[in-house]
């Protein structure tokens, strides 16, 4: 019994670290590999649960499927929701539910095929209870939705719940909700219903206490690594597009403001150019000028007074005065 428990703990630690490590690589590799791992663990969980593999200690029975693989899936969906948002979480949930549905379908097909070809080998793929499978799938879907809702509810600023307590209560709440939904859906009305319920509650409490340090360590590490506060989303963000729409509107608003600023700069530049064109007209080329009277000949051969020509071909205006030299020469009586 001691060796079995040690193996179970080692398996749980290894799988928990595998899921969290795969998620930590998302900034380099994206989330595709993470979704693939989630799907694989879901298939393994269903097969191991069907096989009934468990570890017994005095007073508590630990199912390997839920202790190791289902809890690892919870941790995976948990960190995806916290750091990657509702859209990525919906993909993860769809992967888990999709694989959970496909496994019993494949089992039924294989069982039917083996029954036709070799009836003696059907024990390799024993048919499972449709009620148990349906309860398992429904409970898994409800658990994962509840996880996101509980996390956001406990994260309301007015509640002021610490991160470690928020994480633990959310995780334990999901584990206990799974007990109620699955046991009720699969075993309600049977003589062992209450016994299964009580025993599973105890085992899930132990699992929650054991898995919580891994979750809290990862949340604190990623939060510090990314240099950002964990976002508080609307409570029903997992079911609605509120967060996505809000983000898209924010991005669109910033883009509109940027374009308006560029347009204002362009209008300012165009105004400056118009002002420059209004103030400046250039005289280019060689101007034929009379050596005596200084009149200027235009392209038609007509001669024009210097002042008249310049005023016609530029924005300059003339006013007349008398320079000091001419004043002394023509009006000596005025003097300096």
Give the pLDDT confidence score for residue 332 in this predicted structure.
Answer: 79
Q: Of the residues 216, 243, 270, which one is the last residue of a structural domain?
A: 243
**328 and 224 fall within a common domain:** no
Give the pLDDT confidence score for residue 216 in this predicted structure.
Answer: 92
Q: Of the residues 211, 243, 275, which one is the last residue of a structural domain?
A: 243
User: How far is 100 from 315, CA to CA, in rounded Å?
Assistant: 84
pLDDT at 264 over 80: yes
Tell me, yes or no, whether 83 lies in a domain. Answer: yes
Give the pLDDT confidence score for residue 33 in this predicted structure.
Answer: 93
**320 and 174 fall within a common domain:** no
Nearest in space to 80 (alpha carbons), one of 211, 178, 226, 219: 219
Give the pLDDT confidence score for residue 247 in this predicted structure.
Answer: 57
pLDDT at 95 over 90: yes
pLDDT at 159 over 60: yes
Tell me, yes or no, whether 266 lies in a domain. Answer: no
DSSP string, 124-176: GS----HHHHHHHHHHHHHHHHHHHHHHHHHT-TTT---HHHHHHHHHHHHHH
**306 and 157 fall within a common domain:** no
Tell me, yes or no, whether 309 lies in a domain. Answer: yes
Tell me, yes or no, whether 262 lies in a domain. Answer: no
**232 and 307 fall within a common domain:** no
pLDDT band at 244, cuts 50/70/90? low
**227 and 80 fall within a common domain:** yes
Q: Are 23 and 34 in contact (CB under 8 A)?
A: yes
**93 and 239 fall within a common domain:** yes
Among 123-132, 169-178, 260-269, 283-292, which is the least confidently predicted range? Answer: 123-132
**80 and 166 fall within a common domain:** yes
Give the pLDDT confidence score for residue 14 in this predicted structure.
Answer: 94
Tell me, yes or no, whether 253 lies in a domain. Answer: no
Give the pLDDT confidence score for residue 229 in this predicted structure.
Answer: 61
Among 19-23, 146-150, 183-187, 212-216, which is the least confidently predicted range? Answer: 183-187
Share of the chain above pLDDT 90, in %: 21
**83 and 181 fall within a common domain:** yes
**206 and 330 fall within a common domain:** no
pLDDT at 285 over 80: no
**146 and 217 fall within a common domain:** yes
pLDDT one-digit tens code per residue, 42-93: 998 888 887 778 888 777 778 888 888 999 999 999 999 888 888 888 899 9
Q: Are 64 and 8 in contact (CB under 8 A)?
A: yes
Q: Of the residues 183, 216, 243, which one is the last residue of a structural domain?
A: 243
Domain extent, residue 156, equals 2-243
Give the pLDDT confidence score for residue 76 in this predicted structure.
Answer: 93
**231 and 288 fall within a common domain:** no
pLDDT one-digit tens code per residue, 3-12: 888 888 899 9
Tell me, yes or no, whether 250 lies in a domain. Answer: no
Number of folded domains in the chain? 2
Nearest in space to 132 (alpha carbons), one of 92, 181, 175: 181
Tell me, yes or no, whether 269 lies in a domain. Answer: no
Tell me the whole-structure pTM to 2 decimals.
0.66
Among 19-33, 87-101, 130-144, 262-276, which is the least confidently predicted range? Answer: 262-276
pLDDT one-digit tens code per residue, 307-335: 777 777 776 777 777 787 788 777 777 76
Give the pLDDT confidence score for residue 241 in this predicted structure.
Answer: 52
Structure-block tokens of residue 216: 């809290």
Tell me, yes or no, whether 254 lies in a domain. Answer: no
pLDDT band at 242, cuts 50/70/90? very low
Say how many CA atoms lie within 13 Å of 237 toward its Cβ.
26
**328 and 201 fall within a common domain:** no
Give the pLDDT confidence score for residue 72 in this predicted structure.
Answer: 93
pLDDT, greater one: 64 or 252: 64
Average model confidence (pLDDT) across the chain: 81
């Amino acid at each position: 019994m001691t060796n079995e428990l040690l193996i179970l703990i080692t398996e749980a630690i290894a799988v928990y670290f595998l899921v969290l490590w795969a998620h930590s690589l998302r900034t380099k590799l994206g989330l595709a590999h993470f979704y693939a791992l989630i799907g694989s663990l879901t298939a393994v969980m269903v097969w191991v649960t069907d096989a009934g593999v468990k570890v017994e200690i005095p007073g508590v029975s630990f199912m390997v499927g839920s202790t190791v693989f289902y809890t690892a899936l919870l941790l995976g969906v948990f960190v995806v929701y916290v750091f990657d948002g509702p859209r990525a979480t919906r993909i993860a949930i769809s992967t888990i539910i999709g694989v959970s549905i496909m496994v019993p379908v494949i089992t039924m097909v294989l069982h039917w095929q083996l029954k036709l070809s070799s009836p003696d080998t059907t024990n390799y793929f024993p048919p499972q209870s449709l009620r148990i499978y349906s309860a398992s799938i429904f409970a898994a879907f409800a658990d994962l939705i509840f996880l996101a809702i509980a996390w956001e509810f406990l994260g309301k600023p007015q509640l002021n719940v610490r991160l470690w307590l928020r994480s633990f209560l959310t995780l334990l709440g999901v584990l206990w909700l799974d007990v109620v939904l699955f046991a009720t859906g699969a075993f309600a009305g049977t003589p062992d219903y209450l016994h299964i319920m009580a025993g599973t509650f105890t085992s899930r409490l132990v699992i929650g206490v054991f898995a919580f340090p891994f979750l809290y360590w990862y949340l604190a590490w990623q939060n510090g690594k990314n240099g950002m506060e964990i976002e508080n989303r609307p409570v029903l963000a997992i079911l609605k597009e509120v967060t996505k729409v809000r983000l898209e509107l924010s991005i669109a608003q910033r883009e509109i403001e940027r374009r308006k600023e560029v347009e204002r700069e362009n209008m300012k530049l165009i105004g400056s150019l118009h002002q420059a064109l209004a103030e400046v007209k250039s005289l280019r080329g060689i101007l034929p000028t009379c050596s005596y009277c200084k009149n200027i000949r235009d392209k038609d051969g007509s001669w024009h007074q210097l002042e008249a020509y310049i005023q016609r071909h530029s924005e300059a205006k003339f006013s007349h005065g008398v320079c000091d030299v001419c004043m002394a020469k023509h009006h000596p009586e005025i003097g300096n």
